[in-house]
Amino acid sequence: MTKVTFVEANGTEHDVDARNNRSLMQAAVQNGVPGIDADCGGQCLCATCHVILDEQWYSKLGTPDADEEQMLAPTPERSPTSRLSCQIQVTDELEGIKVILPEFQM
Amino acid sequence: MLDKVQPLRMLDQDPKTIPLDQIDVSQAELYEHDAQWGFFERLRKEDPIHFFDHHEYGRTWAVSRFDDIAYVEKNHEIFSSEPTITIADPPPDIPFQSFIQRDPPEHDSQRAAVQPVVAPMNLAKLEALIRQRVGVILDGLPVGETFNWVDEVSINLTTQMLATLFDFPFEERHKLTYWSDATTGAPDVSGGDFITIEERNKALAECGEYFVRLWHERANGPPGNDLISMLAHSEKTRDMINKPMEYLGNILLLIIGGNDTTRNSLTGGVLALNQFPGEYDKLRKDLSLIPSMVSEIIRWQTPILGMTRRTKQDTELFGKQIKKGDKVVMWYISGNRDEDVIKGDPNKFIIDRESVRHHLSFGFGIHRCMGNRLAEMQIRVAWEEIMKRFRQVEVVGPEVRAPSNIIRGYRELPVQVHPL
Ligand code: HEM
Ligand code: FES
């Protein structure tokens, strides 16, 4: 288990114990965090699991691959540190990560 | 060239016993009679990547399982959207182009230019106006009489919503619906019978002239919130008018995208609630289920039956050898009833279904529907307003469906409304 904090666009925080080797998207959905739709179920095909990281965490995790980048590009609140949360695996290294949710999903 | 043999007429066949290799799910009349289910059930079980050499469409593959469809969506480098996304090849005399039928990089840059029009902040601005127009339509319905829900509500409403989006002259708004039907309803595009090819070409020419005129009006006026004004004033798209075929293609794409699909969802929802009265009860008791019901309506209806890709290189698809040039049809209508993915009887309409948003109706991947939030908003607002007024919208006669191998649509749904 790894401690993850999801922050809604209105500032509400959700601390969850995320299971390792699952995706951040799954951690949010399984813990009832609102604001992640995950319409495609985690296949990098819908971009409704968009999240924004702070710069430090973003660079620690490495840049999105080409497929993810292509799906991210049209999301309405795209920022330089945007990711699709279904493409991020929860590991011990993520302990304490803060994940910001956009106001709207695609 | 030898003339190819006409396929068997599917309507006369028993899906359980017809030899597999004779199954042709591209026949428009199958959908007119809602007779496709047995054939797809058989294909999902026995031949999920199904080959058929069609006398008119050529070598086609029917992909019928949810996950296999997602795979095709993902591999857009092999399964191309060019030159078009219908089973039929593009009619040679339609010059319009839009990004739904382009691959990257053109797809990506054109979509990026148009996408802001349906940005959530814009939708929020539109919602109040749409709600007001829905209210006017519903308040005008003839209580105690039988009427056609398709004409009085679904078409009326979607046409008004389109006019709102384009800030199109309101009294001429029926033209939008006509141009949309003309584009999708001709025999050479969808096997439809709405219009002849000559009439279609005339309609498109008129549509072209009209929108070029609107562009110039908006470009010379102050920036507004409507789609054309946004295109004419935004830095990225301000020169689009110099490529008139691209401009018109994208306009037509928005008209069509927002027309049939939403219209048939509005009708499909009424039909579904009447076929599953227990769900109607559930809804009456808990109106907070409306957003979830909207997704279930869109899954259950599957307004777009399927989209076609053309194979760019020889490849293998789950054991089948697909040749360069072959058409691969992703039958969303089948994937949305795939019991391995849609848990808890996919044939049932369940308004609080688990993972209700996990459906194929909007497609997946880079071409995933750009108007999905707009569509959901429109259908949600419509149901919120319907439930404020009517205890029941009762279906009082059989529905009449349209023949098409692209759009799953209705022409008639006789109903009576019962006020609260
Ligand atoms: C329930 C309603 C709707 C359904 C079921 C639907 C379905 C779809 C599907 C399946 C695609 C994917 C096409 C492909 O992969 O080849 C698509 C694309 C598209 N839709 Fe929708 N649609 C709906 C409403 C709308 C609305 C209201 C608009 C208007 C803004 C719209 C605009 C578009 C556009 C522009 C595309 C092309 C996206 C691209 O190629 O990147 N749709 N739609
Ligand atoms: S869940 Fe669909 S892209 Fe992440």
Q: How close A65 comes to chain B (CA, Å)?
A: 14
Ligand 2 mutation target, pool A46, A70, A83, A88, most atoms within 8 A of CB:
A46
Q: Is any Cβ of chain A less than 8 angstroms from the Cβ of B70?
A: yes
Name the closest residue on chain A to residue B123, using Cα atoms.
A104
Q: How close A55 comes to chain B (CA, Å)?
A: 25
Please choose, from the candidates B31, B34, B30, B32, the residue with its C-alpha nearest in 3D space to the C-alpha of residue B13: B30
Calculate the alpha carbon distances from B350 to A32, A83, A86, B279, B372 in Å. Answer: 21, 32, 27, 7, 20
Selected residue of B343, B361, B364, B372 to mutate for chain A interface (largest A Cβ count, 10 A): B364
Q: Which ligand number lies closest to the CA of residue B294?
A: 1
Question: Does any domain span residue B31?
Answer: no
Strand order in the sheet with A82-84: A13-18, A2-7, A97-100, A50-53, A82-84
pLDDT at position B329 is 98
The residues pairing with A13 across neighbouring beta strands, listed in sequence order, are: A7
**Token pair 């549509």 is at which residue?**
B207
The per-residue pLDDT for range B290-317, each reduced to its tens digit, is 999 999 999 999 999 999 999 999 999 9
Q: Is any Cβ of chain A less than 8 angstroms from the Cβ of B372?
A: yes
- Tell me if B298 CB under 6 Å of ligand 1: yes
Pair B30, B11: CB distance under 8 Å: yes
| CB neighbour burial string for B330-341, b if at least 16 within 10 angstroms, e if fewer | bbbbbbbbbeeb
Q: Is any Cβ of chain A less than 8 angstroms from the Cβ of B355?
A: yes
The residues pairing with B393 across neighbouring beta strands, listed in sequence order, are: B417
Domain that holds residue B261: 44-419
Q: Considering only CB atoms, which chain B residues are within 8 Å of A40?
A: 70, 358, 364
Q: Considering only CB atoms, which chain B residues are within 8 Å of A106?
A: 368, 372-373
Question: Does any domain span residue B6?
Answer: no
Question: Does any domain span residue B409?
Answer: yes
DSSP assignment string, B33-44:
TT--HHHHHHHH
pLDDT at position B55 is 92
- Tell me if B297 CB under 6 Å of ligand 1: no
The per-residue pLDDT for range A12-66, each reduced to its tens digit, is 999 999 999 999 999 999 999 999 999 999 999 999 999 999 999 999 998 999 9
Q: Is B296 helix (H, G, I), strand (E, B) or coil?
A: helix
Pair B51, B20: CB distance under 8 Å: no
Quick check: A39 and B366 CB within 8 A? no
pLDDT at position B191 is 73
| CB neighbour burial string for B39-60, b if at least 16 within 10 angstroms, e if fewer | bbbbbbeeebbbbbebeebeeb
Calculate the alpha carbon distances from B10 to B36, B228, B303, B367 in Å. Answer: 9, 44, 21, 31
Pair A35, A15: CB distance under 8 Å: no
**Strand B327-330 versus strand B58-63 pairing type:** parallel
Q: Is any Cβ of chain A less than 8 angstroms from the Cβ of B109?
A: no
Residue type, B420: L
User: Count of A–B CB contacts within 8 Å?
Assistant: 47
Pair B111, B369: CB distance under 8 Å: no
- Tell me if A36 CB under 6 Å of ligand 2: no
The structure tokens listed for B174 are 């029926």
Please choose, from the candidates B418, B415, B410, the residue with its C-alpha nearest in 3D space to the C-alpha of residue B395: B415
CA distance linking residue B101 with residue B80, whole number of Å: 9
Which distant-in-sequence residues (6+ apart) come within 8 Å of B38 by Cβ? B14, B15, B16
Which distant-in-sequence residues (6+ apart) come within 8 Å of B7 by Cβ? B22, B24, B27, B52, B54, B55
Residues in chain A: 106
Question: A2-105 architecture in CATH?
Answer: Roll (3.10)
Quick check: A40 and B115 CB within 8 A? no
DSSP code of residue B150: I
Asked whether this complex has an ipTM greater than 0.90, the answer is yes
pLDDT string in tens for chain B (420-residue length): 456 778 999 999 999 999 999 999 999 999 999 999 999 999 999 999 999 999 999 999 999 999 999 999 999 999 999 999 999 988 776 667 789 999 999 899 888 888 887 888 778 878 888 899 999 999 999 999 999 999 999 999 999 988 988 889 999 999 998 888 888 777 777 777 777 888 888 888 899 999 999 999 999 999 887 889 888 988 878 888 998 888 888 888 888 888 889 999 999 999 999 999 999 999 999 999 999 999 999 999 999 999 999 999 999 999 999 999 999 999 999 999 999 999 889 999 999 999 999 999 999 999 999 999 999 999 999 999 999 999 999 999 999 999 999 999 999 999 999 999
For position B235, which CATH number holds? 1.10.630.10
- Tell me if B308 CB under 6 Å of ligand 1: no
Residue type, A17: D
DSSP code of residue B32: H
Q: Considering only CB atoms, which chain B residues are within 8 Å of A43?
A: 70, 74, 364
Please choose, from the candidates B23, B402, B6, B415, the residue with its C-alpha nearest in 3D space to the C-alpha of residue B181: B402
Residue type, B45: K
Q: Considering only CB atoms, which chain B residues are within 8 Å of A74?
A: 111-112, 115, 370
CA distance linking residue B318 with residue B302, whole number of Å: 25
- Tell me if A88 CB under 6 Å of ligand 2: no
Question: Does any domain span residue B160?
Answer: yes
Pair B293, B303: CB distance under 8 Å: no
DSSP assignment string, B190-209:
HS--SS-HHHHHHHHHHHHH
Name the closest residue on chain A to residue B72, using Cα atoms.
A45
Q: Considering only CB atoms, which chain A residues are within 8 Å of B74?
A: 43-45, 67
Quick check: A106 and B372 CB within 8 A? yes
Please choose, from the candidates A4, A15, A18, A20, the residue with its C-alpha nearest in 3D space to the C-alpha of residue A91: A20
Report how many domains make up chain B: 1
Omega before B15 within 30 of 0, i.e. cis: no
pLDDT at position B126 is 82
Closest in B115, B120, B364 to A45, CB measured: B364
- Tell me if A48 CB under 6 Å of ligand 2: yes
Ligand 2 mutation target, pool A37, A86, A106, most atoms within 8 A of CB:
A86
pLDDT at position B161 is 86
